[in-house]
Amino acid sequence: MIEFHNMYINSFKDFSIEGWDQLLKKFDATINYTSWFLNYIEVLNVKTSINNLTFTVFRGDIAIAIVPLYVEKINNDWQISMGQEPIYAPIFSFETLSDDVFGYYEYIIVEVEKIAKKYKCSLARFHYSPLLFTKNSQNYYTKFGYSKEILYPDWYIFKSSHGYIIDLKKSDTILLKNIRSRYRTNINRTSRVVELFILDKLFFEKKLFNKYIDLYYQVKGLKRSKKAFQLDEFAVLNGFESILLCEYNDQLIGAIAIHTYQKKARYNSSIQLYNVDKGIYPNHFLLKSSIDYLKKNDFELFEIGEQVSHSDLYKVSKKEENLSHFKSGWGGKLIPWMKAQKEFENV
């Protein structure tokens, strides 16, 4: 049984950026636990008055757990979430024994609910990255009064209990063979007439990056601030993000942004123009190029996205069905994507 008398917490904001990222090397992590990403969430969600309350759990002088945590104001009520989405679950240091994890969760849940009480939060949402899933993984939150279902708001990602992970350790031949045959045809047609550019820590051209920003605003409108794109630029230059660009007839027609950390990659976002010539498929071309790029740079896992299925609890739209079908065509394996939500009374 874990004894709590020699345990304490340190706030993320008490660390320097260098100190935090050095600490993170003692954990099996994804991009979502880096100091860059934890700050990035605040910039992306400034309209919700979001506060970063991330903390670490120490036992003596040893860091045991990293616990991402945010509170934000939604419709004048505070809740524990990030842009209404679930927050990534705690991770534990390489030195932590698996038999002790439940005991540490007891301590963490108490700290989380102290914060929920302080801010009078209406709910808390968490999820576990499929990139960190192992045969011993379990949804610890459900042991403390949390539900594994997230039913509101009615968003696509909340309807998913699995995500697709591509094992990049497979051979190039197998990776290509596992892509849906129709997609391979689209990729071959597109690759003959477009040009690929990759922005990463080894190559960064400001002019190309600005074209990427322009394309984003053209397709999605003014949804992101200049400061958010400045952090994207920082991420690219420091190896946390790679941006793949597709150009056709000297015009940028598509882009994919990938988050990268510790040999794990996550498909973050994509944009494409839809009024290009028939037979040009920028998203297909860029996803295949992403797989090739990550494989070449010795990445091991690539999280490509969600899969949803019909349920008595919610409706799945035709658009959501089509998106899941698209994600299923890239040779990934379905990995559990565990979520948890708790609603608090007496707000």
Examine the pLDDT at 129 and tell me if it is beyond 70.
yes
What is the average per-residue pLDDT within 87-94?
97
* Interatomic CA distance for residues 108 and 114, integer angstroms: 10
Backbone angles phi, psi at 141, to 5 degrees: -60, -30
Q: What is the pLDDT of residue 275?
A: 79
Helix 206-220 vs helix 226-237: crossing angle, to nearest 10: 140
Examine the pLDDT at 206 and tell me if it is beyond 70.
yes
- Average per-residue pLDDT in the chain? 94
* Interatomic CA distance for residues 218 and 226, integer angstroms: 15
The sheet that has 51-52: what strands, in order across it?
A: 51-52, 70-74, 77-79
Cα–Cα nearest to 31, from 259, 233, 235 = 259
What is the average per-residue pLDDT within 84-111?
95
Q: What is the pLDDT of residue 197?
A: 98
Lookup result for tokens 């697709």: 164
DSSP string, 315-331: ---HHHHHHHHHHGGG-
Domains along the sequence of the chain with CATH = 7-158+338-343 (3.40.630.30), 169-299 (3.40.630.30)
Q: Cβ(15)–Cβ(35) under 8 Å? A: yes
State whether the Cα torsion 83-89-90-93 is positive or negative: negative
State whether the Cα torsion 137-131-71-4 is positive or negative: positive
Examine the pLDDT at 243 and tell me if it is beyond 90.
yes
pLDDT band at 232 (very low <50, low <70, confident <90, very high): very high
Please give the helix or strand (H or E) that residue 38 lies within, else none.
helix 35-44
Using DSSP, state whether 37 is helix, strand or coil. helix
Lookup result for tokens 């990030």: 82
Q: In the structure encoding, which two tokens stand for residue 236, read together?
A: 């690219």
Least confident of 76-90, 313-327, 329-343: 313-327
pLDDT band at 193 (very low <50, low <70, confident <90, very high): very high
Give the pLDDT confidence of 52-65 residue by residue, as tens digits.
Answer: 999 999 999 999 99
pLDDT band at 5 (very low <50, low <70, confident <90, very high): confident
Backbone angles phi, psi at 15, to 5 degrees: -95, 150
Using DSSP, state whether 259 is helix, strand or coil. strand
Q: What is the pLDDT of residue 154?
A: 78
**Three-point CA angle 179, 240, 96, nearest 5°:** 95
Q: What is the pLDDT of residue 276?
A: 82
Cα–Cα nearest to 212, from 186, 236, 184 = 236
* Interatomic CA distance for residues 322 and 307, integer angstroms: 10
What is the average per-residue pLDDT within 93-104?
92
Least confident of 68-77, 162-171, 210-219, 303-312: 303-312
> What proportion of the chain, given as a percentage, has pLDDT over 70?
99
Cα–Cα nearest to 38, from 261, 197, 267, 263 = 261
